[in-house]
Structures are given as C-alpha cells and as structure tokens.
Structure 1
Amino acid sequence: MYKTLVILLFISLCSRLGFGYEKRNLLQKKASKEQVLALVLPDKQWVKYPAYTDRAGWNQLSGKFRATQIKEAEKYLDYEWKVVKATDYLAFEKSGSRTIMEAPFGANSSALSALVLAELCEGQGRFIPQIINGVWVFSEMTSWALSAHLGAYQTSKRALPDYQEHVIDLTAGDIGSLLSWIHYFFKEPFDKVNPVIAKRLKQTLQERVLDTYMQRSDFWWQAFNLKPGGMVNNWNPWCNFNVLTCFLLIEDNPEKLAAGVHRTMASVDEFINYTKTDGACEEGPSYWGHAAGKLYDYLQLLSYATSGRISIFDQPIVKNMGEYIANSYVGDGWVVNFADASAKGGGDAGLIYRYGQAVNSQTMQHFAAYLHQKKSNTVINIGRDLFRALEELRYNAALAKTSPALPAYTTVWYPETEFCYMKNKAGFFFAGKGGFNAESHNHNDVGTFSLYLNKVPVFIDAGVGTYTRQTFSSERYTIWTMQSNYHNLPMINGTPQAFGPDYRSRSVAFDPRKQIFALDIAGSYPESAAVKRWQRSYTLTPNEGLTIQDDFELKKAKTPNQINFLVWQQPDISSSGIIRLAAGDKKVSLTYDPKQFKAQTEAIALDDKRLSQVWGDKIYRLSLIATKTTKKGQYLFKISEAH
C-alpha cells in the first residue's frame, strides 16, 4: 500500500469531519431494514459451532486445546464468586482508582469464561453448577458497566449503578455477549436444574442490552448524534459487535431482530465513515484489536448471520485497516506506539489471520503465522470474548499450516492519518507522524518520531501509564506522558504543544524515493509559543542513519529553544557535539553543533507498572538547549550507528 507513490503533498484541514470523515455508509448501502429481515438466517442457523450435546463435534473442534482448557477451568470448581461492593464503585469518585471495582468484576468474568469453554470441550456437566453460579451472580448485579463509565450516562452522574437506568459500555456489552452464548449453549441443561435460571438470564439480556440499545441514542459510541468534529473510536465496533451478538442469539421476533441488526449497521457505518481511507489506527497498535479487530468481528458475525449476503470485506478501506497492524510491527515484539498504545505487543495472531483471510491479505496471513510460531502454549485465554475463542478453535489448524513472514517494505505512507514508516539497509526503522492533537487517545505529539536499530528501540514514545480518573478528564495533559515536551519534539519559546483539533500539522510531504518525511509543526503550538514556521524534515539515508533538520522562524524570541528526545538507555553526553546511546549490542550516536546547543539529561523513574513492564525502572529525556535566543535559524541532527 502506497509503496510506489511519488512525492505526495497533503495539506491538513482544520475541521475534523472535513479532514477525515467520509459518508460512505457501506453497510446501509448493502441492505435496508426490510432486506435485513429477509437476509438474516432464521432459528440461529448461522451458528458455526457444534451444539453442546454434539460430543463428536466438540472433540474435533477443541482438538489439542481440549485437555488444557479443561485443566485451566478446574481451578474454578471451588471458586468463591466475588461481590463488587458499593464502596468499590464509589472508590472511583473518592480516589480515582478504577481497579478497586474492576478487579473483582474481572475475576468473576474470567472464571465464568474459563468454565464455559471447558464445559463445551468436556461435556460431562462437571462445570455446570459453577456456570449457573456465575450466571446468577451477573444476573443479580445492578449493572455490568464499569464505575469509570457510569457517570456519563446516568442522571445522577455518579459511579454507583442506578437500577433505573441501564448503561451499555465495553464491559456491559462483553458480559451481555458472553451470557448470550451461555444461554444459547446451556439453556437445556439449565432448565433441567431449574427453568428460572435461563428465563431470568434472557429477561436480563432483553432489558439491559436489546431494549436499552433500541431505546437510547445518547451513548456517544453509537454516534447517532454525531456533531461536526465528533470522535468515533474503538468503542463503536466493540460495543456494536456485542449488541449484534445479543440480538442474533436472544431475539426471537424476526421484525425486532431485523430492526436491531440494521440499527447496529447504521451505527458501525459511522465508525467506518470516521476512519480515514488509508486505514491507519490513530489509537495505535494496542487498540487495533478493539478497533479494526472488533470491526472485523462485527462484519464476520454479520456475514455469518446472512450467509455472506451482507458483507463489505471487498472494500479497500477494510483491507487497509487490517494491514495496518502488520505494517506497524517493528520486530521482536516491538511495535510503533503513537498515542496511548504500548510499544510492546504485536497482536492476536488468530484474529489477524482470520481478518487476513476475509480481506484476502497475504501480508496479514503470513504475519499472523509469524506471531503464531512464537507461541508455545495450548491455552486460549478468552477474557470475556467467547466468539473469538470459538473462532480460534475453528481456524487454528489453517493458521498453523501458513508460512510465517514479516511484511516486506521499504516505506509505508498513510497520507490521511499522516503516519510514515521507513526502513534502510543499515537496520534502522523510522516511524514519524503528523496529524492533530485531538485524535482518539491523543498525545500532544504532532511531528514526533521513534527510531529503532536492529529491532531495538532507541528514540522512543513512552506510551501511557495505568488508567485512572485523571487519564480521561480535563487533567489529562497534566500527565507527563501526554505532553509534547516528553516526546521527540521541540519546546518553542519554553512552550509545549497544545491540545485540540485546531493544533495540527501543515504542509505534510513524503518522498518515498528519497525517504524524506517533512512537515511544518508550528500549527500544533499555542499562540504563546510565537512560532510562525517550524519545518521539520526526517531523511533516512539508505546505508547510514537518520538526519533531522529543523528550519524555523519565530514571531518573537523569548527564551532559548529546547529540542527534546526521549530515549530508552542513559545518554552519554561527555563529548561535546556527540551523544552516544546503547542499542542492544550496538551503539548509536547523535551529532549536533556544539556551538548551537548544550546537552543535558533527565532520568524519568517509572513507578507505574504499565510503563515499567515495557521499559524497566527508568527512561531518559535528552535535552539540547540552544545557546542563543534567535527568531530564525536551522538545526541539524544526525543519528547513525557508532563504530
């Protein structure tokens, strides 16, 4: 994709919807509500998995996973189901902690998922009593939504569930989907114990998911009331996939089923409309599985339910969205991690393979096989997503037979999202971005870059720490990881970049032949920075390293400029004009004009587990402080392997 482009100049516009939003409505063009009524297969004929009583079918489907899934669930045979207390919910208001409520909730859902898959594999009824206990626990809960999400949709604006208002968020949808599958597979064995169990479960799903989805249009992720400049992110396909699952498995009335399915189609269309044609995930690889990955799940489920008659897998944007995850892989588990994404990952091999098959992407299928070969366990850790677990069982044999390979490219350019990836023969991998400072999971990072040598991070993006109340509040940009002065960017007149849709790149240009990525980042700084132009260009030379050139003009020169770099290893600044950094068993040098700058370093202690499990106990900020205060000038930095 975009490998053979000549120089492409892309001028950013100020309106978010004007910039990326395109009213494609691909799903609604495929079928009206009346057509959906005729196309959805009746009586759940679309389900691809054996009935619970089909032991031969389950023995074949579970294959090598059977024994380990059963063993995994045996530890829950005596599981004590946890109560999520009122004070656990209220802790979010008191301390900002999400985990106090989420920990017991997550423990219960993990136990129930494991028990369900094990019972399907074994089929002896051994796990049924505990499955019933789990179903009862969740049926008795006032809400399945998280404390962090309740305030936005309850009249009270509080974090304690209100029994008068049902809320569908990510986890409420996940639990609804899981419980819908449980009802489908185990209604008969439940009825043998007591018919009230399945009846209560179905009634609960009807009220909390089906009726709520049809009656409410104010959930932001539905995007039914999308305003110009409004955001549609991973919540949309994620929640809609869960709602679609519930409708297909629970709703018996054909007219109501068709109405519900078509309503999800209209909602998911808004996610596709919002996504740029190049398919890049502005939230980063960590969120791909919840964004494009969940879109795939949704589209696959819709295709199953209509025997392939409602499908848009042939649309280029859907393929582009899929291949982004393969292109963003650096190697050895490292990925390009703009925004809140982690630098570690790679993705779910099974999901990537299935997506790749659906859109006929050899790149995705071979990349999935590459990830798969590194896995040695035979346990499917399903979380709350039984659909993905079932699909994993169906596709695993085909994935295992696929030859592994990493994407082969020299450059990849996402012209609308303004992501640029470049590789050279010296082993460097460069990733840079333009964009704007109101993207989903945004960091103020227009113009930043990451650089790797032989798959080892050198110049980095820290990512994000553990989510708290502060993370998604008006205090977000008081957190250092969100600020441009802790990215590989300049502080201009002592001022970092600002948050908002108007703070964006200008005059973005990419030349794949010369491997040059350039943009003016002045528009991402507030008026107080007094910057007229700050043209930054990145050039990756074929056999050497990276050259960074800053060409700037200020309206006023108030304080010396500060060029910041975030690096993994401690910089050696003992030599004037050259900085040395470790990169695995290699060394990297950054050269600069010692007449222009004085170097200093700052160790950043990482006491947050989400950060330290990626980078260790500290990372470093390297700052080059200008020796002169000037309104106009040029800076030049060269990064290469040190010999």
Structure 2
Amino acid sequence: MLEPPERTLPVPPAQERAVWEEARLDPPTMTHLRARAVEDLGRPWPSLPARHYARYFRDGDRDTYEQLVFARQRRLSRAAVLAAATLEPDWLDEVVDGVVALCEQSSWCWPAHDDTHTRHHAVLPTVTDPVLDLGAGEVAAQLAWVDHLLGGPLDQHTPGLRTRVRHEVDRRVLTPFAERRDWHWLGLDGDVHNWSAWIHGNVLVAALRLLDDPPRRAAVVDLVIEGLDRYVASLPLDGAVDEGYGYWWQGACRAIEALDILAHASGGALDGVPDALRDTVAFPHRMHLGGDWYLNHADGMARPPGSQPWDALYRAARRVGDQDALAHAAAHRDHAAPVADEEQGLGRLLRALNHPEWIRVAPGAPPLTRDVWLPSVQVLLARPVRGSTAGLTLAIKGGHNGEHHNHNDVGGLVVALHGVPVLVDAGRPTYTAQTFGPDRYDIWTMQSTWHNVPEIRGTAQAVGHAYRARDVVAVIDPVSSQLSLDIAAAYPRADVRRWRRTARLERDSGRIVVTDAWELAPAAPVAPTRFHLLVAGDVRLGKGRAAITARHGAGRLTLTWQPASAPATATVRPLDDPMLAGVWGRTLTRLEIDLGAATATGAFVLTVEESSARDVSSGEVSDVQGR
C-alpha cells in the first residue's frame, strides 16, 4: 500500500522550485528564520559537554543539556528551510554540518530517559545500547525530513551524507524499535500515554523516508500502526486528555498528524479518523479560558507558549469537520507573525509553510464554549455565555490522584475573571530528576495543600488511583452549571466519611458558590481543618472576606465565606523557578481559612463575586505583606 520513499511525506522537495523559491514563501516566516539563521553562520555549533549529560545522574539537572540539544536541532531546522529556499552552497554546508553534528552525538536520548545508569552503572550514554525515547525519535524524524526536503541537492553537494544518516537512524531508532518490545511507552502493560503517539509518529516518518527495503519498511510501519491503534484505543470517547491541555499537542495531536501522514504515504488506502480522535480535536478549545490562558491540570501550564502548532490543529479540525476547533485555531493566526517556527520541529514547520489555506486564513474570534463537561476526567468548565470571557468562569475537576503527570488535586477549583485565572492551579516548575522520581510529591506544586482543596484534620490528599472522587454529578442548564462530588476518598483517613463539594456558577447573579458539606467520625484530638485557595493577585483580608485585585488588569474579586468567624491568613510564595515565574510573575498567595477542629457534621460556603474598586476598599481589610 505504501508509496515509494520519495513520495511518502506530504511536503514538496526543494527541487520543486515553483514551491520553494523564497519569494513565494510566507514573508514573516522567512524573515524570522533568515535573521536567526544568519546569526548562526560562522559560529561553532553548540557543544554537548559530557558533564552536562552526567549532571542528571549527579544533581538532577536535565535542563542544561536538553537546551543545548534543542539549540542544535533548531539551528538545523532554520538552515534546512534556507537551503531549500535558496539552494545556496553556504546554506547546504550549514545543513551538512548540522546533520553530521547530530550523527556524531553520542546519544539522541535525553538524559532523564536514559537507562544507562540502571543497566550499565554509567552516567554517560552507552553507545552500544541506544535508548529510543522522545529525544531519539525527534532527531530521527528531523533527519528524515531533511533527507526528504534536500536529498537531491545534498547528494550533489556532499555525497555519502545520506548513507550516514540512514546508518545512524537505523542503529539508534529503527532497529531498537523493531527488536526491543519492552519499551514502556509501547503501552503493552495497558498504561498508554502521550509518549506512545509522539514516538510512533516520529518512527513512522523515519521509516517511510529512510528505509529503502520495502518488506522491512512495511514491517516497521505495521508495528507503528499497531502502536497508534493502542494509543487511540486508550482515549476516552469524550476526547479528553488526563495530562491536560499542554500535553494534548504532544499526544493526541501527534497521533492525528501520524494518521494524516499515513494516509498520504498510502495514497489514501490507509485513511480514516477514529471517533475518539474526532472528539479530541475539540479538547484545546474546550480548555480555553480566554486570550492566552487555558485550564491547566497535571503538569500543564496555565499560560502555554504562544508558538503552538496551530496549523496542525487547523488541519485536524478541517479533516474531521469541527467548526469550533477550526475557529479556535484560526483565531491564533497572526499574519504579521510566522506561520510556524523551528521550536515546533522541522516537520511541523515545513507543513505549515506548505499549507496555503492556513497561510491565508483570516483570524476570527475563538468559540469559547459556554459549558464543557468531560466525564472521563470529571472536568467541568462553565462561563456565563458562549463566545465571551466576561464575568467569572468556573472550572472544577474530580478524577483521581493516579493520573498521568498527576497532581493531588481531586476537587480542585480554578476561577477566572474575564478569562484571566485568579484562583489558580500553579502548574509545575522546570523538570528535574525529582519530577518523575520517588520524591515527586515533595515538590510543592504537586501537593494538595497548594491546590484549591481542603486539608482535612491536618491531612493532605494521597497519591494513587484509589484516592478519587465518588458520586460525581454534573448539572448544566440555562440558569446555572454545577459539579457535585464526594472527595472524602481522596484523603487517607478512615474518619472522613463524606466530604461533598458542590461548585456552582449562577448565571443570573454571575457569582460562583462553593459549598463543602462533611460528615466526620469522632476522633482523638486532631489538627485543624483548613480551606486552601491559591491566588494570583494582590490580596486584602477582612473578617469573613478577602478582596483580590487580579493581575493583567482583569479586575477585582470579592470572596466571602460562612461561617464568617473562620479566620484567614495568607502565605506569600516567592516563585524562583523561571517556568512558574514566566506564567504567574514573582509570587502566588495561598489563603488558609481555618475551620478549627471541624465538627462531626458541618458546612463551609465560599462565594466568589466580581467587585468594583469601591467594593474592594470598603469594609475592614488589611493588606497581605510580602508581595
């Protein structure tokens, strides 16, 4: 069913000059790429000191090495596009240097994924035992795209280079993929996550372009299809991703792109989009709060990088006929900005550059769905009206504490004002060895005590599938939207019989009401129960109330609670991690409302309302120090 290798990737090669003459390419994209690429010319390629690889195993730092690797790959992508646009020897030389640098790199695996220490007691790559991870898959696919784009010119300019590429991709990626079937990301144990779609998609690109033996190529592609089937089968029918919005792009989106390439490579014989993938195309716009803010769960960011591959979402939405998803993608098209950039990977950059409809599309307004209910992950998002960020938006989740990239956040709330989060989920800091190690939940952002959930009798939520929401009921109608759930089982305490949380957005008043009602068994003297709220903004406290000035000019909120006698204190958390600070600024503030030794039965009611400057300044309030 497969086309010959030179026709399998859906981008014209550089020999098609009617496509690749620079004057015909999107000007903002080429201006951006050329400016960066010209800066690179004549400079040494980023080196990869062995000590930076070893650091992951010594002190947990993975980012220093990874950023050097990413710099190499981005430079090569820029050079490849300039070489295709000009066919000038200087740019072809730059491509050759970049390709050889990757081919001579000891490992394409990122240190955090390398099993060299456990299998070989080493802190440097074991070159005789290559690991196929996200990084290795990315390099293999990039080299395949370079070969497809510039194969003919490179054969004339630097004979032998393409043979070297095939050798390195085969020994590091294609052979390990076919011969080792114990890779955890295959999901053969039933645990399928975003790695599966991401790596299988990259292996597909490499096999289609760089395997010249038809039976072997067919066998590898067959294994890829099996892996993609396994990933798609793991997706819920509502299209949700438990890893959250940020990981949709590197999971479900990767699967859709792989199936698109497979359809092209087979001349349409292997075409089709399963129902779960059709529905998951809607997931990004369903998680949209407004502007560049999104509902973040797990390790996602509330304010993701702006350079998402919107072209890929646009193509997917067009393919499945989802008009809201199409509008959401188009809303991010800025004709003064590049259609895509090198950070997204060479394949995504090339496809966007060769997508005339995306290049011409007129940006419009995002759909901003009024109500979203995703039963598979038990996430509700509700706003007053469709198509507007005005007023308060409520999001609440149930789920369990064994999700992929999990945070302990069963019952967690997010409240946005005019599309800007004010009661927030912090997200995650820069990845280190600790992030996915046994001490993950020593990281404060992963703990329930730094999410918008209660701490019951001094006890935080625990980790694992068993710690989950029960009796979850969503009710959505024109008057209000609410989620009600029992979160008692999320806490490792036998004396928590029931803790029912109900969060409701009232459309007539525009306010949000959160009611916690509990039933606790008698216990020996215990620590107090506290209601926690994590705030992005300036806080002023008063009796039974707090006034919050949101950031980014979004406005002001007033929080009131009953019993009003429950005292509140605030802890200002400095943000010294660049990833967290890049989203939230210098600080976040945690409100701690003390319910004391909670009675056997009781209730706590929190009301959130938009307020004016006069509302904020009235009453008996005091500033929280340390902002």
Given residue 565 of structure 1, which amino acid in structure 2 is its aligned partner?
A: L
Say which of 373, 392, 416 aligns to 2:352: 392
- CA gap 1:478/1:364 in 2 versus in 1, 3 angstroms: same
State the Cα distance separating 1:524 from its structure 2 match.
1.0
What is the match of residue 595 of structure 2? 626
What is the match of residue 226 of structure 1? 189
Say which of 492, 499, 503 aligns to 1:538: 503
Q: Is the CA contact (8 Å cut-off) linking 1:589 and 1:641 kept in structure 2?
A: yes
User: What does residue range 150-299 of structure 1 map to in structure 2 within 5 Å?
Assistant: 150-151=114-115, 155-156=119-120, 158-223=122-187, 225-227=188-190, 230=191, 232-299=192-259
Q: Is the CA contact (8 Å cut-off) linking 1:96 and 1:470 kept in structure 2?
A: yes
State the Cα distance separating 1:607 from its structure 2 match.
0.5
What is the match of residue 52 of structure 2? 88
The question of 1:467 aligning with 2:431 is answered: yes
Given residue 351 of structure 1, which amino acid in structure 2 is its aligned partner?
A: A
* 1:622 alignment partner, SS class: strand
* 2:592 alignment partner, SS class: strand
Q: Deviations over 1:479-531 (max 9, x none)?
A: 10000110000001100101111111101100111411111111111136x31
- CA gap 1:537/1:86 in 2 versus in 1, 3 angstroms: same
**Fraction of identical pairs, as percent:** 30
Bigger mean CA deviation after superposition, 417-426 or 359-368: 417-426
| Mapped partners of 1:148, 1:430: distance in 2 | 36
What is the match of residue 562 of structure 1? 530
What is the match of residue 521 of structure 1? 487
State the Cα distance separating 1:139 from its structure 2 match.
1.1
| Mapped partners of 2:515, 2:344: distance in 1 | 48
Q: Is the CA contact (8 Å cut-off) linking 1:596 and 1:627 kept in structure 2?
A: no
Bigger mean CA deviation after superposition, 376-385 or 631-640: 376-385
| Mapped partners of 1:219, 1:406: distance in 2 | 39
TM-score by length of 2: 0.91
Say which of 457, 469, 472 aligns to 1:505: 469
Q: Deviations over 1:385-406 (max 9, x none)?
A: 2221111012254453345222
State the Cα distance separating 1:66 from its structure 2 match.
3.8
* 2:366 alignment partner, SS class: coil
State the Cα distance separating 1:600 from its structure 2 match.
0.7
* 1:195 alignment partner, SS class: coil
| Mapped partners of 2:116, 2:498: distance in 1 | 40
* 1:515 alignment partner, SS class: strand
- CA gap 1:488/1:157 in 2 versus in 1, 3 angstroms: farther
Q: CA RMSD in A?
A: 1.9
- CA gap 1:153/1:176 in 2 versus in 1, 3 angstroms: farther
| Mapped partners of 1:339, 1:70: distance in 2 | 37
Say which of 109, 116, 123 aligns to 2:80: 116
Q: Is the CA contact (8 Å cut-off) linking 1:279 and 1:320 kept in structure 2?
A: yes
Bigger mean CA deviation after superposition, 177-186 or 190-199: 190-199
Q: Is the CA contact (8 Å cut-off) linking 1:150 and 1:159 kept in structure 2?
A: no
| Mapped partners of 1:454, 1:193: distance in 2 | 56
* 1:383 alignment partner, SS class: helix
What is the match of residue 641 of structure 1? 610
Q: Is the CA contact (8 Å cut-off) linking 1:153 and 1:167 kept in structure 2?
A: no
* 1:186 alignment partner, SS class: helix
The question of 1:572 aligning with 2:533 is answered: no
- CA gap 1:503/1:360 in 2 versus in 1, 3 angstroms: same
* 1:297 alignment partner, SS class: helix
Greater relative contact order: 1 or 2 (C-alpha under 8 angstroms, separation 6 or more)?
1
State the Cα distance separating 1:72 from its structure 2 match.
3.0
* 1:562 alignment partner, SS class: strand
| Mapped partners of 1:299, 1:61: distance in 2 | 29
User: What does residue range 101-112 of structure 1 map to in structure 2 within 5 Å?
Assistant: 101-112=65-76
Given residue 344 of structure 1, which amino acid in structure 2 is its aligned partner?
A: R
The question of 1:367 aligning with 2:328 is answered: yes
| Mapped partners of 2:121, 2:500: distance in 1 | 45
* 1:53 alignment partner, SS class: coil
- CA gap 1:391/1:192 in 2 versus in 1, 3 angstroms: closer
State the Cα distance separating 1:256 from its structure 2 match.
1.1
Bigger mean CA deviation after superposition, 346-355 or 152-161: 152-161
Say which of 31, 38, 42 aligns to 2:4: 42
Q: Is the CA contact (8 Å cut-off) linking 2:543 and 2:564 kept in structure 1?
A: no
State the Cα distance separating 1:293 from its structure 2 match.
1.4
* 1:424 alignment partner, SS class: coil
| Mapped partners of 1:470, 1:450: distance in 2 | 26
* 1:493 alignment partner, SS class: coil
Q: Deviations over 1:550-578 (max 9, x none)?
A: 111112342321000001113211x2112
State the Cα distance separating 1:585 from its structure 2 match.
5.2
- CA gap 1:456/1:66 in 2 versus in 1, 3 angstroms: closer
State the Cα distance separating 1:408 from its structure 2 match.
4.4
